[in-house]
Amino acid sequence: MTARNAAVATAMQHAAAEENDHLAWCEQRLRELKGRTSLLNPLWYAGSFGIGAVAGLLGDRASLGFVAETERQVEFHLREHMERLAADARSRAILEQMTHDEVRHGVRAASLGGKELPLAVGGAMRLVSRLMTRGSYWI
C-alpha cells in the first residue's frame, strides 16, 4: 500500500497473497483439530497493518527492513512450533511450508534494499511478538 517502487509493491503483494494462504491453512487445520483462532486476531491484524503502514511511510528501505526482521522472527516462532508438534505430521507439513515462504519473503525484502533495523527495534519486536503469542494461547 505504501511502496514507492513498483518492484517493491509487486514483491509485497505476492508475499501478502502467500500470507493470506498461511492464514487459511492455519484456520483450516484448527477446524480439523476442533480448535479456534484467537479472539485477539482482529487486534493483531489491525496492529500489524498500522505498524506496517508506519514503516512504509518511512520509505521502502525501512519498510523492507521491517519485513525482513518480521520474517526472521516468524521463522523462529514457526520452528518452535514444529518442535512441539513432532508427532503431528500434517501440522508440521503446513508449518514447514510456511517457514519456507517466510524465509523467502525475508530474503526478498533484504535483496530489494531493506535496511537493517536498530537492535532496540528488533528487541522490541521480539517482546511484542512473545506477548502476542502468549496472549493468543489463552484468549
Tens digit of pLDDT per residue, the chain (139 long)?
899 999 999 999 999 999 999 999 999 999 999 999 889 889 988 988 898 899 899 999 999 999 999 999 999 999 988 998 888 999 999 999 999 999 999 999 999 999 998 889 888 888 888 887 777 777 8
DSSP result, 3-35: --SHHHHHHHHHHHHHHHHHHHHHHHHHHHTT-
Q: Quote the pLDDT of residue 66.
A: 92
Comparing CA positions, the residue from 15, 6, 133 lying closest to residue 71 is: 15
Write down the pLDDT at residue 79: 92
Q: What pLDDT was estimated at residue 138?
A: 76
Q: What is the pLDDT of residue 75?
A: 94
The Cα angle at residue 110 between residues 107 and 111, in degrees rounded to 5: 85
Single out the residue of 75, 70, 76 nearest to residue 110, CA to CA. Answer: 70
Cell of 2: 505504501
